[in-house]
Amino acid sequence: MFYPKENDNPIKRSSFRYASVDFLIEKDGTPVFMEVNDNTLAPYYVELKSKLAGAIERKKPKLENVNSEHLFKFLNIFRSVSQELPKKSIAILCKRKDQPLAIEKEIRYLIKLFQKQGYYSEMYIPSDCEIRNNRLYIPKEAYYPDIIFRRNFSFPSEKIEQVVINDLDVRLITGNKYNTHRVINKYLNMSGQSFRQPETYLAANSKELLHIIQMFHSRGQDCITKPNTSYGGEGFGVFLQNKDNSFEYKQQMQIIEKHFKNHEEYLVQEKVDAALFDSNDGKQYCFDLRIMVYNGVFAGIEGRRSSNPLSKGRQAANSLVTNINSGGMDLLVMQGTEEIVPYSSQTLLTQDEKSSISFDIDSNILILNTKLFNKLKYSAEAIVKAVDEAIYFEDYTAKSERNGCKV
């Protein structure tokens, strides 16, 4: 066995500085880990919601703003890697110029935020850049940025000398949902379990996928399907047991077949009996929580609910998707000091408060008790640490094998 040297400790060499971890909550208050992301919208929207939460906190002292330190911790990602740099410049790398409005707002916000902190910052796309002597160079401005903030899924694809947040090593794990599941499953087997994962299988073709679905149904369980490497709710399906839904099966299988034709694998997971969010419209919605973890430390929480209320009919799949780009709605999340129930909702946002922000948000607030809040916080930190270590050892193993070392 070949071991890394002490000064190569994976905890010290963090690749995963900017992370978000998604959870469902079971009805008994148990967090269920769903996926971890390395490239999510957050700062602009979290800060707007943090201002709303701060106003409510002043009116309701028993409620606490879970995002009160978010901005400081976000900026600390960049401060922690720029202290010894002679210059301080940040290149924000995006996929294309014509961004969706939600992304455009965040990019403009980030540029202004960095400039206020004394950084020179601009947005670039791959065609604006060159790789020279293992460094990213901006020809039209004739400079090498000190820090690269990667807001795309594939560039720069090669190793460069500048600090990259997050570099593409991260996607060895986070770009593959099943890889992530295996990494976290290994962690759960070695540690105390304050959260769990859904039972998960990987299917390489339609025959395997249908076999796994039938296995779940034979045990009296519903299941969901989703592409192994896609994001944003694309290709998501729900397969309910003992339902006359042959039309939905056929429709969903047609979508799945398109992914298989593109050589993409599919996950089949148990459908979690998750907690529901009581909206102010009197209906119940599926929701999830996105825990922000910066430099390995909890930084804040994003809440999201589905666009459609819970359904077991033809809208079953749509009623489970919370992704904002697929029609989901933002939730304001706060911590409550009362310990009676793990979670609850209250109508606390006024129409004027809702109108003060530039996106839709439910009038009801999701309130987490201290026990559930701490479970989510420490579980998310542990997940990011486990992924970071897996990234490090995969990269270290590859380097060692190239250098002729036995691993």
Domain assignment present for residue 147? The answer is: no
If one counts the domains in the chain, the total is 2
Strand partners, 93: 124, 150
287 and 334 share one domain: yes
Domain assignment present for residue 96? The answer is: no
The residue among 270, 302, 331 that closes a domain is 270
206 and 310 share one domain: no
Tell me which of 280-284, 301-305, 334-338, 397-401 is least confident: 397-401
324 and 384 share one domain: yes
- pLDDT band of 352, cuts 50, 70, 90: confident
- pLDDT band of 240, cuts 50, 70, 90: confident
The residue among 220, 247, 270 that closes a domain is 270
Is it the case that residue 2 has pLDDT exceeding 60? no
Supply the pTM of this predicted model.
0.88
SS3 6: helix
pLDDT of residue 157: 82
182 and 45 share one domain: yes
Annotate 39-73 with DSSP letters as a single string: S---HHHHHHHHHHHHHHHHH-TTEEETTTTHHHH
Return the axis-axis angle of helices 70-82 and 43-59, rounded to nearest 10°: 140
Tell me which of 49-58, 191-200, 338-347, 397-406 is least confident: 397-406
260 and 314 share one domain: no
183 and 204 share one domain: no
Domain assignment present for residue 6? The answer is: yes
Report the distance separating Cα 391 and Cα 88, nearest Å.
27
191 and 302 share one domain: yes
Residue that wins the pLDDT comparison between 4 and 115: 115
Domain assignment present for residue 89? The answer is: no
Q: How many helices (H) and strands (E) does the chain have?
A: 9, 19
- pLDDT band of 331, cuts 50, 70, 90: very high
Residue 116 in tokens: 């206020």
pLDDT of residue 276: 94
SS3 348: coil
216 and 257 share one domain: yes
180 and 303 share one domain: yes
Domain assignment present for residue 146? The answer is: no
In the chain, % of residues over pLDDT 90: 53
Is it the case that residue 9 has pLDDT exceeding 50? no
Q: Are strands 237-239 and 31-37 parallel, antiparallel or unpaired?
A: unpaired
Domain assignment present for residue 143? The answer is: no
Give the model confidence (pLDDT) of 73-125 as tens digits: 999 999 988 877 767 899 999 988 888 888 899 999 999 999 999 999 999 99
Q: What is the CATH number of the domain that holds 238?
A: 3.30.1490.20
Is it the case that residue 314 has pLDDT exceeding 60? no
pLDDT of residue 261: 63
299 and 394 share one domain: yes
Residue with tokens 């014509």: 98
343 and 301 share one domain: yes
175 and 300 share one domain: yes
Domain housing 344: 1-82+170-196+274-407
The residue among 237, 252, 270 that closes a domain is 270
Report the distance separating Cα 327 and Cα 309, nearest Å.
12
Domain assignment present for residue 239? The answer is: yes
Report the distance separating Cα 217 and Cα 219, nearest Å.
5
Domain assignment present for residue 140? The answer is: no
Strand partners, 165: 149
> Please, which residues have CB within 8 angstroms of residue 162's CB and are 6 or more apart in sequence?
135, 136, 144, 145, 146, 147, 148
